[in-house]
């Protein structure tokens, strides 16, 4: 609850860049302290405290802070207000135990995101990208509001904890409406067309927050509705959605290998990773949910870092076209090193935490759907292929003759990339320690 109080404070502290950064750091520290709350200390009817909620709050605040750090040239009060409001809405959405309040803040997060895309986007097409985003997300979430209102009336409560105790089974059409709003936000393949457009037109901070946090609202929402709705494990709707998510993720991986815009490539890679998240959460098994949680956290930092690297490379080479970006290894070796590290992390190379997330979903898939094990294997193989294609295309070869002069990496660029990498070290150490504790 303390993190929520400070989140409201930092939305008001927009007069200076330092004030916003300080408030974000305070909220992140408090969210870490609330990660391991037990039932006795976390039970209340307003705020939802759990390991998942605390981790998502921590991820939200850290990436909002890194978004400000990575764009020091943007210091206007309007820009700070958008990021601060977006961070506040995300913290509140991840902390609500009231399902209707969760829905409200879930939708409120779209408003600052739309303002970032339209106000600080790069090209005139940003208006079309904002329209796509609003039509897809709002159109899919309005039926969810009707279903949630009826569920709260039927269960005589809006509390997620109370609704989880009141068992009631629902038809396939209701499940499709419930899942649809969050699968569009995730997004699942076939409802993903708004995501590449939004990423390509959004500024750096918008792309970082959109990929690192807003997509995780979809996964977190699936976890919440699994608690509120008693779902039939082997009903046709979850099986259909899991199949579409996995096969769609494989198609998104194929599309990554045909992209020439580096931001579009990273955006389509997010669609592939989120297919794994959907396939892990929908069956509601412990291994699948754990895999989805690990994948969401790891993808939040890795995709945000890849967008940072794409932007920093664009500032030096003045092009997002992959064939024109070659030769970075000769010109900027430090930048090339970070490209190598985060491409390895994005392809789930050992010993990254992404590998654990992809391995843990395999038992959940094999128990339910044997045929999807092959799909997962193909996704892992081609994920490595497009990340190798991305790294070699950008960094190897001779620099293009069309390049103009660029500056070396600045201190804030190095700090931003380093702060994306440090959580991977902490998470890896924690995962090794927990595995040793379980083993002994």
What are the percentages of helix, strand and coil residues in the chain, rounded to 5?
A: 75, 0, 20
C-alpha to C-alpha distances, 163 to 99, 166, 226, 230, nearest whole angstrom: 9, 5, 10, 9
Structure tokens at 325: 């970006």
Look-up of token digits 């959004």: 202
Give the up-direction half-sphere exposure of residue 408: CA atoms within 13 A in the CB hemisphere.
3
pTM of the complete model: 0.86
pLDDT band at 251 (very low <50, low <70, confident <90, very high): very high
User: Is 378 domain-assigned?
Assistant: yes
Please check whether residue 347 lies inside any domain of the structure: yes
| Domain membership flag for residue 3 | no
Higher pLDDT, 407 or 349: 349
**What is the model's pLDDT at position 339?**
95
Confidence band (pLDDT; 50, 70, 90) for 304? very high
Q: Does residue 263 fall inside a structural domain?
A: yes
> How is residue 108 written in tokens?
């409120």
pLDDT score at 30: 47
Assign residue 348 a region: left if phi > 0, alpha if psi is -120 to 50, beta otherwise?
Answer: left
Give the model's confidence band at 434: pLDDT under 50 very low, under 70 low, under 90 confident, else very high: very low
Given this model, what pLDDT does residue 403 score? 66
Enclosing domain of residue 229: 124-311+336-394
Instruction: Please enumerate in sequence order all residues whose Cβ is within 8 A of that of 322, keeping only pairs 6 or more positions apart, or say none.
Output: 259, 260, 261, 262, 265, 390, 393, 394
The whole-number average pLDDT for the span 359-379 is 84
Residue 288: the pLDDT is 85
Angstrom distance (rounded) from CA 91 to CA 156: 26
pLDDT at 255: 92
Provide the β-strand partners of residue 181: none
Is residue 416 domain-resident?
A: no
Cα 25 to the center of its chain, rounded Å: 20
Residue 330 within a domain: no
Structure confidence by residue, pLDDT tens digits, 140-177: 888 888 888 888 888 788 888 888 777 666 666 777 88
Q: pLDDT tens-digit profile of 2-61?
A: 444 444 444 444 444 455 455 555 444 444 444 444 333 344 445 556 778 888 888 888
Q: What is the pLDDT of residue 438?
A: 38
Q: How many domains does the chain have?
A: 1
- Asked, for residue 32, whether it belongs to a domain, the answer is no
**pLDDT of 374-421, one tens digit each?**
888 899 999 999 999 999 999 988 877 666 666 678 888 999 999 999
pLDDT value at residue 167: 65
CB atoms within 10 A of CB 33: 12
| CA dihedral sign, ordered 374, 377, 383, 385 | negative
Helix (H, G, I), strand (E, B) or coil at 257: coil
In angstroms, the CA 179 to CA 221 distance is: 9
Alpha-carbon distance of 349 to 365, in angstroms, equals 21
Residue 418 covered by a domain: no
Q: What is the pLDDT of residue 153?
A: 84
CB distance 160 to 238 below 8 Å:
no
| pLDDT number for residue 46 | 52
């Amino acid at each position: 609850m303390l993190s929520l109080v400070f989140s409201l404070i930092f939305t008001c502290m927009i007069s200076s860049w330092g004030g916003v950064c300080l408030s974000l750091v305070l909220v992140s520290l408090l969210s870490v302290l609330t990660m391991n709350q037990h039932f006795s200390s976390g039970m209340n009817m307003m705020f939802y405290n759990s390991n998942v909620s605390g981790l998502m709050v921590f991820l939200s605040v850290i990436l909002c802070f890194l978004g400000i750090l990575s764009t020091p040239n943007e210091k206007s009060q309007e820009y700070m207000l958008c990021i601060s409001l977006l961070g506040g809405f995300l913290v509140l959405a991840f902390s609500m135990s009231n399902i209707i309040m969760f829905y409200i803040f879930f939708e409120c997060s779209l408003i600052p995101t739309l303002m970032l895309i339209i106000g600080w986007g790069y090209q005139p097409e940003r208006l079309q990208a904002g329209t796509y985003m609003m039509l897809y997300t709002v159109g899919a979430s309005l039926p969810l509001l009707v279903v949630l209102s009826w569920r709260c009336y039927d269960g005589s409560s809006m509390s997620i904890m109370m609704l989880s105790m009141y068992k009631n089974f629902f038809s396939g059409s209701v499940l499709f409406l419930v899942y649809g709003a969050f699968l569009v936000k995730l997004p699942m393949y076939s409802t993903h067309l708004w995501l590449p457009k939004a990423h390509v037109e959004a500024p750096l901070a918008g792309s970082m927050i959109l990929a690192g946090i807003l997509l995780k609202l979809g996964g977190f929402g699936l976890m919440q509705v699994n608690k509120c709705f008693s779902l039939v494990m082997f009903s046709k709707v979850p099986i259909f959605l899991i199949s579409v998510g996995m096969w769609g993720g494989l198609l998104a991986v194929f599309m990554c290998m045909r992209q020439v815009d580096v931001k579009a490539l990273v955006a389509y890679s997010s669609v592939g990773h989120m297919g794994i998240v959907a396939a892990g959460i929908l069956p509601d098994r412990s291994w699948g949910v754990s895999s989805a949680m690990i994948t969401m956290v790891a993808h939040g930092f890795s995709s945000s870092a890849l967008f940072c690297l794409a932007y920093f490379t664009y500032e030096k080479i003045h092009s997002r076209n992959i064939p024109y970006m070659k030769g970075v290894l000769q010109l900027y070796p430090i930048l090339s090193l970070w490209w190598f590290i985060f491409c390895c992390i994005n392809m789930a190379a050992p010993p990254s935490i992404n590998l654990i997330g992809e391995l843990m979903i395999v038992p959940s898939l094999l128990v339910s759907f044997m045929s999807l094990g092959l799909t997962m294997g193909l996704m892992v193989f081609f994920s490595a292929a497009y990340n190798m294609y991305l790294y070699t295309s950008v960094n190897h070869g001779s620099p293009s003759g069309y390049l103009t002069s660029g500056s070396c990496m600045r201190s804030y660029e190095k700090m931003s990339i380093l702060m994306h990498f440090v959580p991977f070290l902490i998470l890896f150490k924690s995962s090794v320690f927990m595995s040793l504790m379980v083993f002994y």
